[in-house]
């Protein structure tokens, strides 16, 4: 008597997984929906959401909660760090060797730390290159708060 579901590998699920695994960036559900529709034009957004949920339950992908107003998904299911670009909003992997975090499990306030979530904010390679060509001066963040960045063209 198992509580597990016998998940099936449908064509929809397979295409979503493949698309995600072939990407460098970590897209939102609606971005994945657009990509997958070029292969399966009749797929629905609900199916995309359901499959992303199941694939992450199966441990095949990662659900990222970096963006507060939209979830993002990562075809690499091993835990690692991410950076969100302040210019294009895309999310990329960060080399874990460049980061060190130290904390004591037992906090003087009486809390017990079990795990942590960290993500970085900065500029991606592509936008840095664009910056040095166009002189758009991204590194000045003043007045950027709350403004919507350009929609990323993924891939």
Where on the chain is the footprint of DNA (CB under 7 A)? 5-13, 28-30, 40, 42-47, 49-51, 53-54, 69-71
Distance between CA atoms of 131 and 101, rounded to whole angstroms?
Answer: 31
In the bound state with a copy of itself, the residue whose beta carbon lies nearer, of 21 and 80, is 80
- 72 CB burial (10 A radius; 0-12, 13-18, 19+): buried
Select from DNA, a copy of itself, none the partner in contact with residue 73, using the beta carbon and a kind-dependent cut-off of 5 to 8 Å: none
- Helix (H, G, I), strand (E, B), or coil: what is residue 9? coil
110 near a copy of itself, rule: CB under 8 A: yes
CA 139 to chain CA centroid, nearest Å: 23
Q: How far is Cα 77 from Cα 153, in angstroms, rounded to an integer?
A: 23
For the bound state, the minimum distance from the C-beta of residue 94 to DNA, rounded and expressed in Å, comes to: 22
Residues near a copy of itself (CB under 8 A): 65, 68, 71, 83, 85-86, 92-95, 97-104, 107-125, 128, 139, 141
């Amino acid at each position: 008597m198992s509580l597990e579901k016998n998940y099936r590998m449908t064509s929809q699920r397979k295409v979503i997984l493949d698309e995600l695994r072939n990407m460098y960036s970590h897209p939102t559900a609606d971005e994945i929906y657009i990509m997958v529709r070029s292969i399966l034009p009749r797929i629905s957004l609900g199916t995309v959401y359901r499959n992303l949920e199941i694939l992450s339950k199966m441990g095949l992908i990662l659900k990222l909660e970096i963006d507060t107003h939209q979830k993002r998904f990562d075809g690499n299911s091993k835990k690692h760090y991410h950076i969100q670009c302040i210019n294009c909003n895309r999310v990329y992997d960060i080399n874990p060797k460049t980061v060190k975090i130290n904390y004591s499990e037992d906090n003087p306030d009486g809390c017990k730390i079990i795990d942590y979530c960290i993500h970085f904010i900065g500029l991606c390679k592509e936008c840095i290159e664009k910056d040095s060509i166009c002189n758009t001066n991204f590194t000045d963040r003043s007045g950027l708060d709350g403004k919507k960045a350009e929609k990323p063209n993924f891939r």
